[in-house]
Amino acid sequence: MNVEQANKLFLDGILALSRMEQQGLRIDLDYIRAKNSEINQQIQSLEREFTNSKFYKEWEKSRNNKTVNIYSPVQLGEFIYHVKKVKINKETITGQGSTDEETLKQLGIPELEILLQIKKLKKIRDTYLEGFETEQVDGYIHPVYNLHLVKTFRSSASNPNFQNIPKRDKEAMDICRKAIYPRPRHQLMEVDYKQLEVRISATYCNDKKLIEDILEGDMHRDMAEKIFMFKYNPNEPSHKVLRSATKNGFIFPQFYGDFYKNCAVNLTVNWGKLPRFGKWKKGMGIEFEKGNLADHLIKNGINSLDTFTEHIKEIEQEFWNIRYFRYAKWKEKWYAEYLQNGYFTSKTGFTYSGLMRKNDVMNYAIQGSAFHCLLWSVIEITKAQVKEHWDTRLIGQIHDAIVLDVNPEELDHVVDVVRCIMCNDIRQTWDWISVPLDVDIEICDVDHSWAEKHNL
């Protein structure tokens, strides 16, 4: 594709997105206000519990009559690292001792669990519930979508940001998404492109093994078996846990250009709940079959993060030098081309120029092109909506997914049209997409909130 086509995509795109913005999403203001005061009570009581603790008293004393702000990372860092002399394991970007969730959890101080719970509730209240309330007009929010702010030529969203509403944390998801409703007598539906970025990367690098794995393999399972040295059994819950550890702690980071040292920490410390320092002992870590992860790894000759890191180093080499060696070759070629020209052009016709790190050069075109598939679909679905006079509306967009407010009588037809546009029509128009595209569809019952999605 060329630059004219890229320009047209964004021009049509911004028109479709502004229609989306104008449509808006209905929110339940009564729920938001009730939930807000419930959270206020919870925070008050947790704050009381925290400020009565020994930990807090000591913190207060150390500040010589200056007041304590329990929400200040600076003050907390000073107390933990300078007063209590805890050894710094993780630094912030400016070299201060980190006080993020992971770090505080590792300290094993029970009072800090209270503080973390308060912070989680504040995040839900201040960013999401109050954000919705601030931005609403007559019970509807109208998130703004931008196409001119992101260096990869993706979109961003604001006022409120509809692209970062909690999903993985069950409690936060439930509270926040219960605020979002379809119009009366309608239902919310979300259509996600399956593995969109991976499929687009396969279109760029044309790696046979990667395409084969996307279509009929299971790379997460395969790599989990190598990393944790076991034979995968889908009926064993602990095997499923290690599969998702591999997916989120190895496969995704590797595709973004991470390296084995971070992955080793990810897999064992963050996912396996094993200690970062010292030798692992029996009974440590998450459950694995009839024992714990440490028991299993020790049996296989791995008894610390250091030895595990060496193991991951070998697996990383096999991953890029053998399994996906064509992908690795493409990366080198793509990067060399950038060094030569000072820019590169995506399959969707966008030119990326300026000073970029190696990982940026690998990621930007793929991330952008993947989003452009979604944007193309948004434009075409909007056209169908207008042409066929749907009552159904497109109301949101999250990089590789769309959210619709569906009239139940139109549901079957809308699903057919959306599927056809997102999986078939796009490949007719953009023949450079060499890998089949597929979608996942989730739906909520009529008049139910966005917290209650289920598979269609």
Binding site for DNA (CB under 7 A): 69, 71-75, 77, 92-94, 96, 98-102, 116, 119-120, 122-123, 126-127, 131, 134, 146, 149-152, 154, 156-161, 163-169, 172-173, 252-253, 256-259, 262, 266, 357, 359-360, 363-364, 367, 398-401
Give least dist CB 100 to DNA, A: 3
Distance CA 172, CA 190 (A): 19
Instruction: Count other C-beta atoms under 10 Å from residue 364's C-beta.
Output: 20
Closest to DNA by CB, 89 vs 359, is: 359
The least CB distance from residue 10 to DNA, in Å, is 15
CB of 282 to DNA, least distance (A): 29
Q: Which is nearer to DNA, 120 or 326 (CB)?
A: 120
- Min. distance of Cβ 281 from DNA in angstroms? 27
- Return the sign of the alpha-carbon dihedral for residues 178, 183, 188, 191: negative
Spatial CA neighbour of 188 closest among 455, 439, 453: 453
C-alpha Rg value of the chain to the nearest Å: 25
**CA–CA gap between residue 45 and residue 53 (Å, rounded):** 13
Closest CA to 272 of 300, 299, 307, 296: 296
Q: Is 26 left (phi over 0), alpha (psi -120 to 50) or beta?
A: beta
| Helical (H) or strand (E) element with 326 | helix 325-341
Identity of the residue, 102 or 113, whose beta carbon is nearer to DNA in the bound complex:
102
E strand or H helix that includes residue 131: helix 130-135
Specify the residue, 129 or 381, whose C-beta has the smaller distance to DNA. Answer: 129
CA distance linking residue 127 with residue 172, whole number of Å: 12
Retrieve residue 303's tokens.
């008894």
Query: Which pairs from 83-91 meet CB under 8 Å and 24+ separation?
Result: 83/58, 83/59, 84/58, 89/276
Query: Shortest approach of DNA to residue 108 CB, angstroms?
Result: 16
Min separation Cβ 438 and DNA, Å: 15
Question: Helix-strand-coil percent breakdown of the chain, rounded to 5?
Answer: 60, 10, 30
Q: What are the residues whose beta carbons fall under 8 Å from the beta carbon of 279, sequence distance 6 or more?
A: 303, 304
Cβ-based nearer residue to DNA, 99 or 201:
99
CB of 413 to DNA, least distance (A): 26
Nearer to DNA, 6 or 267 (CB): 267
421: number of Cβ within 10 Å: 21
If DSSP codes are grouped into helix, strand and coil, which group holds residue 187? Answer: strand
For residues 94 and 235, which CB has a smaller minimum distance to DNA in the complex?
94
Q: Which is nearer to DNA, 204 or 288 (CB)?
A: 204
Minimum Å gap between C-beta 76 and DNA is: 8
Whichever of 181 and 450 has its CB closer to DNA, that residue is: 450
Q: How many CA atoms lie within 13 A of 430 on its CB side?
A: 29
When the beta carbons of 101 and 287 are compared against DNA, the nearer one is 101
Q: What are the backbone angles phi and psi of residue 104, rounded to the nearest 5°?
A: -65, -40
Least distance (Å) between residue 150 CB and DNA: 4
Structure token pair of residue 240: 């499923």
- Work out how close the CB of 7 gets to DNA at its nearest, in angstroms, rounded to a whole number: 19
